[in-house]
């Protein structure tokens, strides 16, 4: 594993830290591989119920790919950094535990992809987002797939073609992020969110995340049928029974993830 990406699990929260502040937390191939390995570890750990993706330092949340990493000479196969990065975005978007991106600094290029692949994004109100790939002769290809699932077509295309900076408040308005929070409230807001999610039913959240992921490409009628079956499945879990009993008994539920 690499010191450029860190993992700590405490109080049911798995914290992944982009730890390359001197390089604006730019993604190296080693970081991408470590990210895959950490997701494997978190998925298998019942003590980890929610993931927080954060970054060291305040210069940047993530500046995207490390342009000094030899992108042009990368092999055109599944092991290449671009292909592994694309696979990482897909894994994050489809992950069975909520991923909360805690964005406390500027987020650029592939860093915006990591943010968009997260299920919930909380950003400080004074940060910005940008897709500057066009300035170096390329385009935010993989990031675009996620951007179009969050932002209207023309707004997404404008961002990709101009590379302009989008402030956090605008990003919230157009659907890029969940919340833009004042700097003085940022830490408290994220801590409260993570604490709340860590107390939810793991099996309920997994079924819900999987269902929402399937719904993206499903027609309405098919989606409703799918959700009705998923509801019946969820209702048979131990956590659902515990949740109902706790409600009737006016106490906090003790979810086990079963």
Judged on CB neighbours under 10 Å (0-12, 13-18, 19+), 252 is exposed
Q: Are strands 13-18 and 5-10 parallel, antiparallel or unpaired?
A: antiparallel
133 is catalytic: yes
Which entry of 4, 58, 133, 187 is annotated as an active-site residue? 133
Q: Shortest CA distance to 129 belongs to which of 95, 161, 172?
A: 172
Angle between helical axes of 81-93 and 29-44 (0-180°, round to 10): 30
Angle between helical axes of 202-215 and 220-235 (0-180°, round to 10): 170
Catalytic residues: 133
């Amino acid at each position: 594993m690499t010191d450029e990406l860190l993992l700590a699990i405490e109080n049911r929260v798995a914290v992944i830290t982009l730890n390359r502040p001197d390089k604006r937390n730019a993604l190296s191939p080693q970081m991408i591989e470590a990210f895959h390995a950490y997701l494997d570890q978190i998925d298998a750990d019942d003590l980890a119920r929610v993931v927080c993706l954060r970054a060291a330092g305040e210069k940047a949340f993530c500046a995207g790919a490390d342009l000094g990493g030899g992108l042009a000479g990368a092999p055109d196969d599944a092991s290449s950094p671009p292909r592994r990065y694309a696979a990482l975005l897909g894994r994050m978007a489809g992950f069975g535990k909520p991923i909360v991106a805690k964005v406390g600094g500027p987020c650029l290029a592939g860093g915006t992809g990591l943010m968009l692949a997260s299920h919930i994004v909380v950003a400080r109100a004074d940060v910005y987002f940008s897709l500057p790939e066009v300035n170096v002769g390329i385009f935010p290809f993989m990031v675009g797939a996620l951007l179009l699932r969050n932002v209207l077509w023309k707004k997404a295309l404008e961002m990709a073609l101009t590379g302009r900076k989008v402030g956090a408040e605008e990003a919230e308005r157009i659907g890029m992020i969940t919340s833009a929070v004042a700097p003085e409230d940022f830490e408290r807001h994220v801590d409260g969110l993570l604490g709340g999610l860590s107390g939810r039913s793991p099996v309920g959240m997994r079924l819900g995340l999987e269902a929402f992921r399937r719904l993206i490409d499903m027609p309405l009628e098919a989606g409703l049928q799918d959700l009705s079956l998923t509801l019946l499945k969820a209702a048979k879990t131990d956590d659902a029974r515990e949740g109902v009993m706790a409600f009737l008994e006016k106490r906090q539920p003790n979810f086990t993830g079963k």
